[in-house]
Chains A and B, each alone.
Chain A
Amino acid sequence: MNSPKTKPIFLLFAFCFLLFSANVIAISPTPSLEPETDKIQGIRDAVKEEVRKNLEEAKLGQKKAYVGEIGEITDTALGLDTRIGKKQVQVATETIIIGENKGKIEFEELEIGAFVIAMGYFDENEILQAKRLVIINKPKPRVRQVAFGQVTDISETKVVTVENEKKEIIYSIQVAGTTKITKKKEGKIQQVEFDEIAEGDRVVAIGTPEENEEKIITAKIIHIIPTSSPTPEE
């Protein structure tokens, strides 16, 4: 085995063995990483669980309210049609119910179609446990409108034409004597005069649309956003 003849054979044998083994060792996973990943995952799960518990506890202690139309009345609950969908409200014997005349009324006096504010606390199933129910008038639909776009024309009669290219809408904004016009100057929003509005400026206007014509707005507030910010020298 130690003879000079066998040496090259032994070396060749070792070379062939290492050639294949080295390749395999390179692709072998690091065994120590697996328990580390499990550990991290375990910590993550524990933190998530703790956050979830805290959030639930916080929710349970928070006062919440729903506003909506009574769509269903059962022995102990109301089904409300709210802005965010149908919501169930649990009513207990100690729940205070205030009628339209501001006096206390009984649960049996509630009617389908009435508008109520239900105030109380969420239970663990996120069902509102009402402590106070107040009957209100049906909320009026919103009349104010927001118009946003670029000024394309300013008439002598103080009508500003504003185009919103993205929405492909052209607004006619009537500026009245009471219209408040604002612009950011020296880092503060300040009231300015009508002649500060220039073609090419972007404006946001809040106003009331004309009857049956929501593109014609009598502005209450117009805020001007100049196309380019003034340089400090200006």
Chain B
Amino acid sequence: MKKEVLIAIIIGFALGLVITFGIRTANKALKETAPKQEAQVEIEEPAPTPTAGLLLTITSPEDNSISDQETIEVSGKTSTEAVVVILYPKGEKILEADEKGNFSTEISLAGGNNEIEISAHDLEGNDASQVLTVIYSTAEI
């Protein structure tokens, strides 16, 4: 009886080991090909938005754009309730971003080249600025 039990344990142990080894080897082979796919996905992911400093994104107007209208909308997004300053050839504007950080105003353009400087300032003393070029021309292009 004791001998039979021992043989059964050994056979069971050996069989279990063989199956474990077989499946683990198969798993390893599968995993070796998997990282390549993961790496590809990582490369294609968009870069994270920088968190340091003050965010300032201008949605309108586009840099180096041409407008055939004298008045254009300047809009964008910054920190909540940051102060936004817009300097443009015909004047300057100060406005406050809303509770979501959005801001929007209209400015009038001078004929030809308009360099528009938009800056945002928060209560912590952080600031961010962008300069855009907008051409006001009614000529047919």
User: Measuring CB to CB, which residues of chain A are less than 8 angstroms from any residue of chain B?
Assistant: 5-6, 8-10, 12-17, 19-21, 23-25, 27-29, 37, 41, 44, 48, 62-67, 83-84, 117, 119-121, 131-132, 134, 136, 139, 142, 144, 146, 148-149, 164-167, 182, 184, 189, 202, 204, 206, 220-221, 223, 225
Contact = CB atoms under 8 A, between A and B. Distances in A.
A63 B92 contact: no
Contacts of B13: 16, 20
B92 A149 contact: no
A64 B66 contact: yes
29 contacts: A6-B4, A9-B4, A12-B5, A12-B12, A16-B12, A17-B19, A20-B13, A63-B65, A63-B141, A64-B65, A65-B135, A84-B64, A117-B112, A117-B135, A117-B137, A119-B139, A121-B141, A132-B141, A136-B113, A142-B87, A142-B117, A146-B121, A148-B127, A149-B125, A166-B126, A182-B94, A189-B95, A220-B92, A225-B123
A20 B94 contact: no
A37 B38 CA distance: 10
A28 B125 contact: no
Interface of B, helix, strand, loop or mixed by DSSP: mixed
B113 A139 contact: yes
Contacts of B124: 166
Interface in B97-141: 112-113, 115, 117, 119, 121, 123-127, 131, 133, 135, 137, 139, 141
B72 interface: no
B5 A119 contact: no
A101 B66 CA distance: 22
Given A12-B8, A13-B12, A142-B87, 9 more contacts: A9-B4, A13-B11, A16-B12, A19-B16, A23-B20, A48-B44, A117-B137, A136-B113, A142-B115
